């Protein structure tokens, strides 16, 4: 049974092998849960779990998952008709957006599934948390109707759309009808090259 943190709140801290703090999160997971989705260099890392609310957390589940690489985006993909296709779940794709460009990606879901999608780091040293990955992420149905759009809900200036969980952050990405949907990535600063990874998870329910 999935409880999705209905009352408890947690804090995750990620450390590298030398004990240096890499990432901290308390708010990016489903409801009150925490989540860290990031591109990491090879090596050993450690996760610390803490409670971020009053009371006792008698039991919790920690999930660690490696997203599969879908390679790099291919041009042209500036429209829904030319969108790059993504596998159905737990994947990421690397992209570059020159000034005034956009990238479209398509994903097909079964009835009742929900989507979590976010932009994360694309190259070493340019991180969401340093506010250098500045993006806008928009989710459309097959008719081109905008369902959700986000600019800065992810880490730093990165974007996050999350329809997962019983009480989702974005209802427009939750409990979807079967079909093909589209994600558009756009740089929030039109004159700057944006290098990013788009991480996508599909969850049932």
| 99 and 121 together in one domain | yes
CA distances 122 to 97, 136, 159, Å, are: 11, 15, 13
In terms of domains, do 2 and 85 share one?
A: no
Beta-strand ranges (E) seen in the chain are 10-16, 21-25, 45-51, 68-72, 84-85, 91-97, 102-109, 114-121, 135-140, 146-150, 160-162, 179-187, 194-203
Which of 37, 64, 91 is a domain's end point?
A: 64
End-to-end CA distance of the chain: 12
- Strand ranges of the sheet holding 10-16, from the earlier edge strand across to the other edge: 21-25, 10-16, 45-51
Do the beta carbons of residue 38 and residue 24 sit within 8 Å?
A: no
As for how many domains the chain has, the answer is 2
Statement to judge: residues 50 and 74 lie in one domain: no
Question: The domain spanning residue 162 has which CATH number?
Answer: 2.60.120.380
Same domain membership, residue 113 and residue 171: yes
Domain boundary residue among 16, 48, 64? 64
Runs of H (alpha helix) within the chain: none
| Residues 29-39, mean pLDDT to the nearest whole number | 87
Would you place residue 162 in the very low, low, confident or very high pLDDT band (cuts 50, 70, 90)? Answer: very high
Least confident of 36-40, 81-85, 113-117: 36-40
Query: Are 82 and 179 contained in the same domain?
Result: yes
Give residue-wise pLDDT tens across range 76-101: 999 999 999 998 789 999 999 987 89
Q: Are residues 122 and 178 in the same domain?
A: yes
- State residue 8's pLDDT score: 77
| Domain that residue 138 falls in | 68-203
41 lies in the same domain as 141: no
Pair (155, 90) in one structural domain: yes
């Amino acid at each position: 049974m999935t409880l999705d943190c209905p009352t408890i709140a947690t804090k995750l801290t990620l450390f590298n092998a030398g004990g240096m703090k890499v990432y901290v999160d308390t708010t990016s997971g489903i409801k009150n849960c925490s989540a860290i989705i990031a591109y990491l260099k090879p090596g050993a890392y450690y996760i610390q779990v803490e409670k971020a609310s009053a009371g006792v957390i008698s039991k919790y589940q920690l999930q660690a998952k490696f997203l599969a690489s879908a390679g790099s985006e291919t041009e042209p993909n500036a429209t829904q008709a030319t969108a790059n296709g993504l596998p159905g779940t737990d994947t990421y794709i690397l992209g570059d957006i020159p000034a005034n460009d956009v990238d479209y990606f398509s994903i097909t879901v079964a009835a009742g599934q929900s989507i979590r999608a976010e932009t994360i780091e694309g190259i070493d040293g340019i991180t969401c948390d340093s506010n250098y990955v500045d993006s806008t992420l928009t989710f459309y149905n097959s008719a081109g109707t905008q369902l959700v759009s986000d600019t800065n809900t992810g880490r730093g200036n990165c974007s996050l759309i999350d329809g997962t969980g019983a009480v989702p952050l974005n209802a427009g990405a939750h409990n979807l009808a079967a079909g093909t949907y589209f994600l558009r990535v756009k740089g929030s600063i039109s004159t700057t090259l944006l290098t990013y990874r788009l991480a996508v998870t599909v969850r049932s329910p």
